[in-house]
Structure 1
Amino acid sequence: MSTKTDNPSHAVQPYFGVVPEFVTTRGGAVFSTTGTMWEVREAAARVRLHFDKLPPLSISFLTAFQATLIWYARNASLWHFRNMFQRASNLFEAKFDVTRTVIGEINAVDILNFRGSLGEAHEYKLGAVSGFLEQWHAMGYAGVTADAAHQLKQLRLKGNPKGVDVTTRHPTKGPFTDLELEALQHNLNRAYGNGDVSDAEYVLCWLFMALGQRPVQYAVLKVSDVAQSVDNDGIKTYYISVPRGKRRDSKPRKEFKVRALTPQIGKHVFRYAQKLKAQFEGKLKDPNAAPLFPSADIGEAPDGYAYHQTSAEIGIMLADALSRLNVVSERTGDFIKVGAKRFRTTVGTRAAQEGHSELVIAELLDHSDTQNVGVYVKSTAEIVERIDRAMAMYMAPLAQAFAGKLIAGPAEATRAFDPASEIRAPQITKSLKCMSSCGKNGPCGFLKPIACYTCGSFEPWLDGPHEMVLDYLLSDRDRLMKDADPRIASINDRTIFAVAEVVALCEESKAAREASNG
């Protein structure tokens, strides 16, 4: 086996380690060290290390650096291996910015300069690389000086702050508000019904919303992980066995946690899984081993993971599907920033608001302990105590909750003069007079007219009593806020904004009509 090495002399010359041509990672992947880029693919992860993008390093220093990285490839997770490369790269870049010369060592001055360049808020980045440098030195490779190793042991560094996006309710990185989540769900359902998102995208998005697991866990899911049971009364229950994924031994499907799915989600996931199974007949020896979210081609994945996407590709698939919905946040007035982590923190935050303990939240999010879930209990989602008419009218265009179309009257309805399409609200208006139309053919199990305002088939009439509906909902919310749980009181908030939007559209249309009539 050929190797890259400096010829060590134990008497005089420093030793810079050995870099074999091929390396086997702890997870069982084999990669080549030839060339300026190392590419490693394990079950649900692909890592690329670009040595050609580093600042100028001496050959000896580069060899020692790579030899240390190989120790991490063999003894740590693939992500830790990648992170050590990235953090060390940051240190090298900082030194090169100061010296503008080829890097041949890291000494104590470099450590202190790097710390100073980071500032107190980011000194955790030095903490992340310090273990790597100490390992480098401990293995006897030259390149990290003795004074640097001593300096690292003396440092007391602040760690990476945990849960800041959750505690601050960050509008683009933290958990979604109820309105944002409901808007995403509503628009996802509508897009799926219109054929604008695929089966795979629809199932993936709903699993992220319902379970809040990590992308790696969805990446290694297989058809066999989705199950259905039928009791003696014929009632079906749906389950999904979620691989734990984040394991130190790099075997993401070694342990599972069984999660029950709601009938609405479970039925669709099970049907989708069975369709995938049929598609992989003849492609795989066992079609039950097909990935739940397959790639277009077989790929270069290890045995057992043919056609599996990586966790990064799963994250891209999620973001791409939901970004196409163009849902606007009521907090920012801009399109909602979507990422896997936001769904995870939303599940934790909502569970805390519902009164669940840290142990329950840790179980939901598949944490091995409770040390990282306290942030959810300390920062529960905010519920606006009171929404008046002025706030509803202000928030309406931001919430974009109204999904139908305003029409002048029954003559413009999709199902013009069809008695079955007429919508009334006698409990609100105290009248049997029709106020709106429904453009959908077929049965509807939702409560009219409350649920109608957020439905894409809803066609409110220009002269309908929509202000009465708005006043009714606002009054009912105030009553429930006093007499019931705030979460119950706020359940119709998105509908309130939808009704307010209809009221505003009616006012604009009437004003335009009056202006045109002189």
Structure 2
Amino acid sequence: MNRQKKTKFPGYDQLIQNPNGLTEIEIPKKIRIIDSGKLVNVNLEYMILDCDSEKRRGIRINNAVSGLGQISAKIYIYLILHALNGRRKVTTAIRWITEFALFIKTIKQFCPSPICTITLEMVNWYATLKNPSQQKLLRSQLIYWSDLDLPGISIDLITHLRNSRPPQPRSTAEIQATTAKERPFSINETRGILSKIEALLVQGVFNEQTYLLWRLIISEALRPSQLSLLQVGDVRIQQLGEGPTEVFLSIPYVKQEGTPGRKFMVEYLLSQSVGTALLRQLEVLRSLYQKELPSTLPLFSRHNSRGNLSVKENGIHIINQIAESRKKITADYEGLNDLDLFTRRFKHTKLTHLAMLGAPRSVLARAGFHTAANSLSRYVTLSEEAFSNYETLLENTYDEIFHAFKGDVLDRKNATNKDNPHLIGDVNMEGDVGSCSGIPCNVFAPVGCYTCPRFEAFTDGNHESVLIFLEARKSKATSMGLAPEVILRDEHLINSVKHVIDKIHAISIDKK
């Protein structure tokens, strides 16, 4: 749309009331926050609230209602406070406010009068300017709005929200294919980063706390929000006779809807190196605290103020610590300049390499701190290294897999599952090759699917693109002078795809 031709959205300046909706609302004076379980006084100008992702966050509810009519502003304030009152976490409310404020600011340029009603035209136009994540963020609060039967949303928008599907963000495979900084680190890169932080510890640039912080990020793939919630009481030490000491750490799951992170903890056995780093951190805290450490003391609480070391009762600011220390890791280290995504990449790295080792979905879910395996495909990446290691692990079983192929070849209309989540795209993401008759794992799809008994190959599927991809890989492996075993294993994969193509050809002849 040409921004110079300013036109208002029809009906925006008239308050729309649902026939059976609420007509009177009252702004609460106190709300109980999920994250802390505390009852807090409402202050629309500024409230400081405890939350999972960080110790405390400031929230300005009035910021989101500039440009709205008086009644509409009151409605939106009520909506946010209703969500905060034991229904949504603080970080969700903050994201809602930020996105809605941007939405109103963008729309307001076309509306000379205060906005009284959010219309379908507004939302559709705004969606053309924003990515799927922003669209879903606005959509989620508008759905919450409509579910409360509050005035201020047009009837056609309510109908649209209730009957349409949310926008689909780009898949992880697509993002990582176009954005190098989203891809997981290779094993060699990870080892290099570990060597760098160890060198920084030896040189005295990193102290025990910073070293432990990065070991938990690299080896355990903890989120900053998880790190900030860890306490001394979450550590359990077990001595196995005269054997080595085992260190266990209870880790909070911070992505459980409606549940504070510390209300859902799972104990993990740390590797010997990470466990040793954790024990050293506890020794430092004891020497600074000079008495028995409280179980509720944050694990990361060593504080340095102008050379004076002390224990900070409410812990350090984890995100700031990560931001400052990673500059030292990446100094003079080529290829690691994508600092904003640094910590998230380690989760991609951890789960991808576990998948390469053949870990089942339950193991991947536990390693990624998930209670379910639904979103694991976002963190497992198809990479050159993954292919190489996957094929190495399957070296002795390829013939067995090929001859014991239990998949099926059928027409698209006869698929067990015809919906998009079950469809398996080709390597170019321009078509599909089949569907999954079970629960899609999306690990090494679509190549790995050709050896999976749940794979239903479509007779009109784009199998040739997979064949071209594998043959190109084989040619590349040959030109690079890789081991004959690697080339041979690629050849078995090629034969598996050819097997499906030949079967489709035979079916087509029979139909004639």
Aligned counterpart, 2:354 = 351
Tell me if the contact between 1:25 and 1:73 (Cα under 8 Å) persists in the aligned partners. Answer: yes
Aligned counterpart, 1:364 = 367
Aligned counterpart, 2:280 = 271
Instruction: Give the one of 22, 25, 31 matched to 1:17.
Output: 25
The Cα of 1:344 is off from its aligned counterpart by 1.3
Aligned counterpart, 1:291 = 298
The Cα of 1:275 is off from its aligned counterpart by 2.8
Q: Secondary structure at the match of 1:20?
A: coil
* Cα distance change, pair 286–188 in 1 and its aligned pair in 2 (3 A): closer
Instruction: Give the one of 94, 105, 116 matched to 2:117.
Output: 105
Could you tell me which amino acid in structure 2 is paired with residue 161 of structure 1?
R
* Cα distance change, pair 78–306 in 1 and its aligned pair in 2 (3 A): farther
Q: Distance in 1 between matches of 2:80 and 2:340?
A: 35
The Cα of 1:373 is off from its aligned counterpart by 1.4
Tell me if the contact between 2:34 and 2:84 (Cα under 8 Å) persists in the aligned partners. Answer: yes
* Cα distance change, pair 251–381 in 1 and its aligned pair in 2 (3 A): farther
Q: Secondary structure at the match of 1:382?
A: helix
The Cα of 1:342 is off from its aligned counterpart by 1.3
Q: Deviations over 1:271-307 (max 9, x none)?
A: 212332453456xx9623211012759xxxxxxx951
Q: Distance in 2 between matches of 1:146 and 1:341?
A: 40
Tell me if the contact between 1:169 and 1:175 (Cα under 8 Å) persists in the aligned partners. Answer: no
Aligned counterpart, 2:244 = 235
Q: What percentage of residue pairs aligned between the two structures are identical?
A: 15
Instruction: Give the one of 265, 272, 278 matched to 1:256.
Output: 265
Q: Secondary structure at the match of 1:289?
A: coil
* Cα distance change, pair 89–115 in 1 and its aligned pair in 2 (3 A): same
Tell me if the contact between 1:348 and 1:365 (Cα under 8 Å) persists in the aligned partners. Answer: yes
Aligned counterpart, 2:196 = 187
Gaps of 5+ in 1: 1-8, 298-304, 386-476, 487-518
* Cα distance change, pair 149–38 in 1 and its aligned pair in 2 (3 A): farther
Say whether residues 1:316 and 2:320 are aligned partners. yes
Instruction: Give the one of 181, 189, 195 matched to 1:172.
Output: 181
Q: Deviations over 1:354-380 (max 9, x none)?
A: 222222111111111111113455514
Say whether residues 1:89 and 2:98 are aligned partners. no
Q: Distance in 1 between matches of 2:136 and 2:379?
A: 26
Q: Which TM-score applies when normalising by structure 2? A: 0.63
Instruction: Give the one of 50, 74, 83 matched to 1:63.
Output: 74
Say whether residues 1:116 and 2:124 are aligned partners. no
* Cα distance change, pair 235–94 in 1 and its aligned pair in 2 (3 A): same
Question: How many residues get paired?
Answer: 370
Aligned counterpart, 2:409 = none
* Cα distance change, pair 268–151 in 1 and its aligned pair in 2 (3 A): closer
Deviates more, 1:361-370 or 1:152-161: 152-161
Aligned counterpart, 1:325 = 329
* Cα distance change, pair 340–353 in 1 and its aligned pair in 2 (3 A): same
Tell me if the contact between 2:135 and 2:167 (Cα under 8 Å) persists in the aligned partners. Answer: no
Q: Distance in 1 between matches of 2:46 and 2:173?
A: 35
Say whether residues 1:218 and 2:217 are aligned partners. no
Aligned counterpart, 1:34 = 43
Q: Secondary structure at the match of 2:96?
A: helix
Tell me if the contact between 2:330 and 2:336 (Cα under 8 Å) persists in the aligned partners. Answer: no
Could you tell me which amino acid in structure 1 is paired with residue 255 of structure 2?
K
* Cα distance change, pair 333–343 in 1 and its aligned pair in 2 (3 A): closer
Q: Distance in 2 between matches of 1:83 and 1:336?
A: 22
The Cα of 1:180 is off from its aligned counterpart by 3.0
Q: Distance in 1 between matches of 2:486 and 2:93?
A: 55
Could you tell me which amino acid in structure 1 is paired with residue 319 of structure 2?
G
Tell me if the contact between 1:166 and 1:379 (Cα under 8 Å) persists in the aligned partners. Answer: no
Could you tell me which amino acid in structure 1 is paired with residue 355 of structure 2?
A
Q: Which TM-score applies when normalising by structure 1? A: 0.62
Q: Deviations over 1:437-485 (max 9, x none)?
A: xxxxxxxxxxxxxxxxxxxxxxxxxxxxxxxxxxxxxxxx98988599x
* Cα distance change, pair 376–34 in 1 and its aligned pair in 2 (3 A): closer
Aligned counterpart, 1:48 = 59
Q: Secondary structure at the match of 2:104?
A: helix
Tell me if the contact between 1:240 and 1:258 (Cα under 8 Å) persists in the aligned partners. Answer: yes
Q: Deviations over 1:119-178 (max 9, x none)?
A: xxx245333323322332343432223232223234344223342477438322332233
Tell me if the contact between 1:44 and 1:308 (Cα under 8 Å) persists in the aligned partners. Answer: no
Could you tell me which amino acid in structure 1 is paired with residue 32 of structure 2?
T
* Cα distance change, pair 265–296 in 1 and its aligned pair in 2 (3 A): closer
* Cα distance change, pair 205–378 in 1 and its aligned pair in 2 (3 A): closer
Q: Distance in 2 between matches of 1:147 and 1:114?
A: 16
Tell me if the contact between 2:247 and 2:270 (Cα under 8 Å) persists in the aligned partners. Answer: yes
Aligned counterpart, 1:465 = none
Q: Distance in 2 between matches of 1:383 and 1:151?
A: 42
Could you tell me which amino acid in structure 2 is paired with residue 125 of structure 1?
Q
The Cα of 1:21 is off from its aligned counterpart by 3.2
Q: Secondary structure at the match of 2:110?
A: helix
Q: Secondary structure at the match of 2:373?
A: coil
* Cα distance change, pair 265–177 in 1 and its aligned pair in 2 (3 A): same
* Cα distance change, pair 17–159 in 1 and its aligned pair in 2 (3 A): farther
The Cα of 1:336 is off from its aligned counterpart by 5.7
Tell me if the contact between 1:353 and 1:381 (Cα under 8 Å) persists in the aligned partners. Answer: no
Aligned counterpart, 1:150 = 159
Say whether residues 1:73 and 2:84 are aligned partners. yes
Q: Secondary structure at the match of 1:349?
A: helix
Aligned counterpart, 1:247 = 256
Q: Secondary structure at the match of 1:370?
A: coil
Q: Distance in 1 between matches of 2:96 and 2:64?
A: 15
Tell me if the contact between 1:180 and 1:329 (Cα under 8 Å) persists in the aligned partners. Answer: no
Q: CA RMSD in A?
A: 3.7
The Cα of 1:83 is off from its aligned counterpart by 2.5
Could you tell me which amino acid in structure 2 is paired with residue 322 of structure 1?
R
Tell me if the contact between 2:355 and 2:380 (Cα under 8 Å) persists in the aligned partners. Answer: yes
Equivalence map 1:470-485=2 (5 Å): none
Q: Distance in 2 between matches of 1:345 and 1:333?
A: 15
Name which one, 1 or 2, has greater alpha-carbon Rg. Answer: 1
Q: Secondary structure at the match of 2:254?
A: coil
Q: Distance in 2 between matches of 1:37 and 1:295?
A: 30
